[in-house]
Amino acid sequence: MKNIILIITLIITSLNTSKAGDCFNFFSYVLEDSLTVTFSGEAFYAGMIVQADSYTWDFGDGTTGEGQTVTHTYAPYGPDVYLVYLTTISTDSITGEPCEAFSYQEVWLENQFDCQAMFFYFPLDSLNPCLTYQFMDVSWGNYDSWLWEFGDGTSSTLQNPVHLFADTGVYNVCLNIWDSVGTCQSTYCEDVFVGFYPPGYCDNFFSYYSEDNLTFTFIGQAFYNGLPVVANDYYWDFGDGNTAEGLSVTHTYDNAGTGTYDVCLTTFIFDPLFQDSCIAQSCQEVWVNNQIECIANFMTILDTNNLQPNVFNFYDLSIGDPMSWFWDFGDGSFSSEQNPVHQYFESGDYQVCLSIERGDTTGFGCFDDTCMIVSTANYFNMGGFAFAGDFPINNPSSTGDTAIALLYRINGGFITPVDSLAFYEYGYYWFTGLIESNYLVKINLTTGSQHYSDYFPTYYHNKLRWDLATVIPMTEDNFDINTLLVPTIEVEHGPGQITGNLTIGGGDFLFVRDNISDVEILLLDSENQPLTFTLTDEMGYFSFTDLPLGTYKLMAESTGMYAIAVTVELTTSNPSANIDLEIFENNVFIIEEPPFEKEIIIKKIYPNPVSDNLYIDLHVSSPKQFLIKINNILGSELLSKKIYLDKGDHTVTLPVSPFKKGVYLLTILSKEDCFIESQRFIK
């Protein structure tokens, strides 16, 4: 019997429903044996169960079927999981209007071998961070070989490979595992959404506990578009013919029965904003009367934000409610914690073994162990001079300056602060023990320095903004990371004054940050020549005084935060101006040299709902080629169009008349195929 309980390790069996008009469907299935499955469909119209005009099944193995209840037998020695689709057509009895709906679900067969393939994945920091993913094997059983098929024609035999996809899209990734003696063989496949999150996507999982191994309390958790939500409905099937509804339920099994029960949670979520519905289902095997075996399993993740090298977090993923754990880290160190943290002090490959045990008064104890090879990471050192003019600060003689070097790591699509260092001797700074990755360095003179107002805070090599900064790839020691501090320009005195306030946030895609003090405000002339800077106070207030009349540009600069420039014109009749500046947080996908403004902004899409043509009002900050895509609720690409737009406002027309009724995702990407903007619309 296949141990679906592994799903609780965040590998969720999901069922997505496409809503068309006011109808949707879902289905359940029962395993008759290890290869034969009986499917039962349900159709809904206007919120009520109806008898659909047709039920069409795609069993995921190249065959199809018709009927509300169908039985299908899969070929032996195939995959353990298939993606099955149900399409229904229902007719409104009053208007006669047909309504088509479809849903899909991963269908698991009973594992015929003594192992189960399973994996998870996440985007990885690299030179192509929106296309590179780390895949982690979390399978269980006695296996020693791996074959990954990434859905793009490439493969890997590593246990935990890193893969670079050529383009954004949805890829069906499969992990195959087996052993050398032929007693273990298993396959697990999952759709991987590269470069964007699957639109309208929902899933769920549940936890449970029991005091006497007969009465169990189950607690559900639902997710919609990656966020935890309270579902509209929670439906439980306890696997013994009994069902219940509710977020948390309690069920008692028959005292005479022992063994396992397949418990399934089905959740229904309705999004009133987009009139979108989504059904998810996850299942686990619940063992009654202490008959469960122990299966040891674990995963490990390197703590890349730790200033100490080779610190690993170990997570117990074992099955069977073990009561004790014993970790052998392969370097002579041990731990009895469930989820220990361990640091390796010498580089190399280590065999880490976890032993688990459960003993109880009923005599149903168990023991199991498993091992995995853990490889340490590479760490390097960097350093460099901070030049103020022709010489580093305080070199060859003291200039009365102290500087602070700030180190940031481009980590998993985000910029993360790593370390800081105050220095003054010889104008030289250094950082040691840096994990192999990409970094940014910023040098600030402290406010007490003699030349504080003469130089801007500057990123390596000589940039004022993080999005223009030179990325430092740490693949070897580098002690020549020299930063040339950009000098300020003394502005002539005049009657002009610019004051303002900085805000952080605003808009659906923005996140509010509390700290708005000490943020740099850059003052530039009309030709984008940097003049001087100031810092905001604790309320976000800033000011520039004694300015000559003329045209200026102002923008905020805070590492990892996007900014919008504001142009100010000081005239004889209007010598003063008060402005609001805004910075906002967004995923940092790639470091390039964009203009001050965001590359492209979707101002409005209309009409919504749409019938024939979709109109998009856009603002472009500089001439550039963009890629516009439309995906359906399942993530399938329906339209892809490259378009070159000049600077300014534009209206783009996209024909959507061939599309069926439903919810769609409009995405705009840069020429590097990295996400910029997206909005949903209804047809």
Mean pLDDT of 667-678: 64
The two structure tokens encoding residue 510: 């923005």
Q: What is the pLDDT, as a whole number, of residue 46?
A: 61
Instruction: Tell me how far apart the alpha carbons of residues 620 and 650 are, in angstroms, rounded to a whole number.
Output: 8
Asked whether the predicted pLDDT for residue 633 surpasses 70, the reply is no
More confident residue, 166 or 534: 534
Q: What is the pLDDT, as a whole number, of residue 3?
A: 30
- Element (H or E) spanning 340, and its range? none
Do 198-292 and 600-682 come out as alike in CATH topology?
Answer: yes
Distances from the Cα of 163 to the Cαs of 114, 206, 379, in angstroms?
A: 28, 31, 22
The two structure tokens encoding residue 127: 């030179």
Instruction: Tell me how far apart the alpha carbons of residues 464 and 486 are, in angstroms, rounded to a whole number.
Output: 8
Residues 300-331 pLDDT 10s: 888 877 778 889 989 888 877 788 999 999 99
Nearest to 436, CA basis, from 463, 397, 409, 400: 409
Find tokens 């490439």 and name the residue.
154
Q: What is the pLDDT, as a whole number, of residue 598?
A: 60
Q: What is the pLDDT, as a whole number, of residue 432?
A: 87
Q: What is the pLDDT, as a whole number, of residue 515?
A: 57
Tell me, which fold does domain 115-194 have in CATH?
A: Immunoglobulin-like (2.60.40)
* Burial label, 651 (beta-carbon count in 10 A; 0-12, 13-18, 19+): exposed
End-to-end CA distance of the chain: give it in Å, rounded: 44
Nearest to 669, CA basis, from 647, 640, 648: 640
Q: Which CATH superfamily is domain 298-375 in?
A: Immunoglobulins (2.60.40.10)
Beta bridge partners of 269: 278
Pairing of strands 379-388, 483-484: parallel
Q: Which CATH number is correct for 600-682, 2.102.10.10, 2.60.40.10, 3.30.70.260, 1.10.10.10?
A: 2.60.40.10
Nearest to 66, CA basis, from 52, 76, 78: 52
Q: What is the pLDDT, as a whole number, of residue 450?
A: 93
Q: What is the pLDDT, as a whole number, of residue 258?
A: 58
Confidence of residue 290 (pLDDT cuts 50, 70, 90): low
For residues 58-86, b (16+ Cβ closer than 10 Å) or e, as one string?
bbbeeeeeeebebebebeeeebbbbbbbb
- Domain boundaries defined on the chain: 1-111, 115-194, 198-292, 298-375, 379-484, 496-585, 600-682
Tally the C-alpha atoms within 13 A of residue 220's C-alpha that lie toward its C-beta. 30
Beta bridge partners of 82: 107
Beta bridge partners of 65: 57
Tell me, which fold does domain 198-292 have in CATH?
A: Immunoglobulin-like (2.60.40)
Instruction: Tell me, letter by letter, the H, E, C secondary structure of 229-288.
Output: ECCCEEEEECCCCCEEECCEEEEECCCCCCEEEEEEEEEEEEECCCCEEEEEEEEEEEEE
The two structure tokens encoding residue 258: 């022992």
Residue 225, SS3 per DSSP:
coil
The two structure tokens encoding residue 268: 């229904």
Residues 468-509 pLDDT 10s: 888 898 888 999 899 999 999 988 899 999 999 988 764 333
Residues 602-627 pLDDT 10s: 778 888 778 788 888 888 877 878 88
How far is Cα of residue 83 from the mean position of the Cα atoms in its chain? 23
Mean pLDDT of 360-380: 76
What is the architecture, at CATH level 2, of domain 379-484?
Answer: Sandwich (2.60)
Q: What is the pLDDT, as a whole number, of residue 11?
A: 25
Mean pLDDT of 432-461: 92
pTM here? 0.46
* Burial label, 491 (beta-carbon count in 10 A; 0-12, 13-18, 19+): middle
- Element (H or E) spanning 366, and its range? strand 366-375
Peptide bond into 473 cis (omega under 30): no
Confidence of residue 189 (pLDDT cuts 50, 70, 90): confident
Q: What is the pLDDT, as a whole number, of residue 105?
A: 76
Amino acid residing at 647: K
Residues 155-164 pLDDT 10s: 888 888 888 8
Peptide bond into 461 cis (omega under 30): yes
**Lowest-confidence region among 17-31, 46-60, 552-566:** 17-31
Asked whether the predicted pLDDT for residue 371 surpasses 70, the reply is yes
**Lowest-confidence region among 18-27, 178-187, 346-355, 568-577:** 18-27
Name the DSSP class of 128: S
Asked whether the predicted pLDDT for residue 591 surpasses 80, the reply is no
More confident residue, 116 or 498: 498
Find tokens 């689709």 and name the residue.
85
Q: What is the pLDDT, as a whole number, of residue 509?
A: 30
What is the architecture, at CATH level 2, of domain 1-111?
Answer: Sandwich (2.60)
Q: What angle do CA 292, 297, 300 make, to 5 degrees?
A: 155
How far is Cα of residue 471 from the mean position of the Cα atoms in its chain? 22
Asked whether the predicted pLDDT for residue 465 surpasses 70, the reply is yes
Residues constituting the chain: 683
Contact 99, 22 (CB under 8 A): yes
Nearest to 371, CA basis, from 424, 298, 313, 308: 298
Residues 6-43 pLDDT 10s: 222 222 233 333 333 467 777 877 777 778 889 888 88
Q: What angle do CA 93, 95, 100 make, to 5 degrees?
A: 75
More confident residue, 356 or 109: 356
Q: What is the pLDDT, as a whole number, of residue 47?
A: 56
Confidence of residue 94 (pLDDT cuts 50, 70, 90): low
Instruction: Tell me how far apart the alpha carbons of residues 22 and 46 are, in angstroms, rounded to a whole number.
Output: 5
Instruction: Tell me how far apart the alpha carbons of residues 309 and 346 are, in angstroms, rounded to a whole number.
Output: 10
Count of C-beta atoms within a 10 Å radius of residue 623: 10
Distances from the Cα of 573 to the Cαs of 169, 549, 576, 577, in angstroms?
A: 55, 10, 9, 11
Q: What is the pLDDT, as a whole number, of residue 117?
A: 82
Confidence of residue 65 (pLDDT cuts 50, 70, 90): very high
Distances from the Cα of 343 to the Cαs of 92, 334, 370, 544, in angstroms?
A: 65, 11, 20, 50
- Greatest Cα pair distance in the chain: 94
User: What proportion of the chain, given as a percentage, has pLDDT over 70?
Assistant: 81
Residues 510-524 pLDDT 10s: 233 345 788 999 999
More confident residue, 120 or 402: 402
More confident residue, 572 or 296: 572
- Element (H or E) spanning 646, and its range? none
Confidence of residue 597 (pLDDT cuts 50, 70, 90): very low
Confidence of residue 55 (pLDDT cuts 50, 70, 90): very high
Instruction: Tell me, letter by letter, the H, E, C secondary structure of 605-634.
Output: EECCCCCCEEEEEEEECCCEEEEEEEECCC
Q: What is the pLDDT, as a whole number, of residue 274?
A: 54
Asked whether the predicted pLDDT for residue 263 surpasses 80, the reply is yes
- For the chain, the average pLDDT equals 79
Instruction: Tell me how far apart the alpha carbons of residues 209 and 297 are, in angstroms, rounded to a whole number.
Output: 20
CATH 3.30.565.10 assigned to 496-585: no
Mean pLDDT of 226-246: 84
More confident residue, 489 or 284: 489
**Lowest-confidence region among 187-196, 545-554, 584-593:** 584-593
Instruction: Tell me how far apart the alpha carbons of residues 542 and 579 are, in angstroms, rounded to a whole number.
Output: 10
**Lowest-confidence region among 265-279, 427-441, 589-603, 652-666:** 589-603
